[in-house]
Amino acid sequence: MSTTQAESERKTENLPEWKREEVGELVDFLDSYSSVGIVSVAGIPSRQLQNMRRDLYGSAELRVSRNTLLTRALEDVNDGLEDLTGDVSGQVGIIGTNDNPFGLYKQLEESKTPAPIGAGEVAPNDITIPEGDTGVDPGPFVGELQQVGAAARIQDGSIHVTEDSQVLSEGEEVSADLANVLSELGIEPKEVGLDLRSVYSEGILFDPEDLAIDVEEYRTNIEAAASGARNLSINAVYPTARTAPALLSKATGEAKSLGLQAAIESPDLAPDLVSKADAQVRALAAQIDDEEALPEELRGVEAPAAPTEETADENEEEAQPDEDESDAEPEEDDDDDDSGGEGLGAMFG
């Protein structure tokens, strides 16, 4: 037993029975989840807190206790969770889940709801009264708006804010006058919910900033990276389980193209070679005006139809590798242009 554990047990032994039971229950709670976090519950009404507990049911569990007991339980577990004790201050609770920390953070953020802000509270962000008709009849309220810094005047039988007016900056304290104005306008500048302070999961302590990611952007980046890696593997002819089929297909197409150009006799190429030779003979026969000079079977033979633009594009696609793949192909030597296959192809058009 370590010195820390021994000291923790001695401290627990000195606690009243109900506190020892509470610490024991908290330790069991911490041991039952793979991810544990500290959340702020400050400013959340009891009824709303109960609703949040209910909404979390099935995916996470929230438990609130005295900070001293929470700290002692975190230290008693002694599995890295003691790193969370630095965030146990003010009105907090512990939350446990078997989901990953990113999923927990997203769930807590999505569960937050707008709420009015009271006098004496600190603005969580810049507070702006938007331009437009307030719907309030002419009266003293126009002066109240102007007093808190909003551009307001009476217009068309009601009080209008003539331009977007920032009336408080983030971190500043809300005055009683501003709280009344915001309440009258139905502006709810803050969000009420469980604020995650930190999460410990699989040996790592996460701050909220680490968990606030754009999932769609992250997914797009991963897909782009996977696509880029695949193209690199194919262009570099580096076979993997993912790219082997594409490499084999590419090699097969290139081998077939080479075989046809060089007129290499092969059972696999015979049908294509015969078709190519037949087309070349037909084209040649169609150029001869004197039918008597042709064998009987070639008389009246029409030249094969010229390929349409669509067919030509398809043939070009079959003969040419992808742009990305072709970039990695070495340039052929000039000597290859003088090969017998190229000469034969040129002779027959």
Rg (CA), the chain: 39
**Residue-level pLDDT at 324:** 46
**Residue-level pLDDT at 337:** 44
**Residue-level pLDDT at 135:** 93
Within the chain, which residue ranges are assigned CATH 3.90.105.20? 127-188
3-112+193-213: which CATH architecture?
Answer: 2-Layer Sandwich (3.30)
* Residue ranges in the chain whose pLDDT is less than 50: 1, 311-312, 315-349
**Interatomic CA distance for residues 304 and 283, integer angstroms:** 6
**Interatomic CA distance for residues 245 and 335, integer angstroms:** 32
Whether the CB-CB separation of 119 and 174 falls below 8 Å is answered with yes
**Interatomic CA distance for residues 200 and 214, integer angstroms:** 21
Three-state DSSP class for 206? strand
**Residue-level pLDDT at 327:** 44
Three-state DSSP class for 154? strand
H-assigned helices in the chain: 3-13, 17-31, 46-56, 67-77, 101-110, 141-147, 176-185, 208-211, 215-235, 244-261, 270-286, 309-319, 323-327, 340-347
**Residue-level pLDDT at 45:** 80
Any idea what the Cα angle at residue 164 is, between residues 212 and 111, rounded to 5°? Answer: 30
Amino acid identity of residue 320, one-letter, is Q
**Residue-level pLDDT at 306:** 57
8-state DSSP, 98: S
CA neighbor of 129 nearest in space, from 73, 178, 66: 178
Three-state DSSP class for 232? helix
**Residue-level pLDDT at 339:** 40
Whether the CB-CB separation of 197 and 38 falls below 8 Å is answered with yes
User: Does domain 127-188 fall into CATH 3.30.460.10?
Assistant: no
**Prediction pTM value:** 0.54
**Residue-level pLDDT at 253:** 87
Three-state DSSP class for 34? coil
Amino acid identity of residue 104, one-letter, is L
Within the chain, which residue ranges are assigned CATH 3.30.70.1730? 3-112+193-213
Q: Which residue has the tokens 């340039």?
A: 331
**Residue-level pLDDT at 343:** 34
CA neighbor of 199 nearest in space, from 106, 95, 68: 95
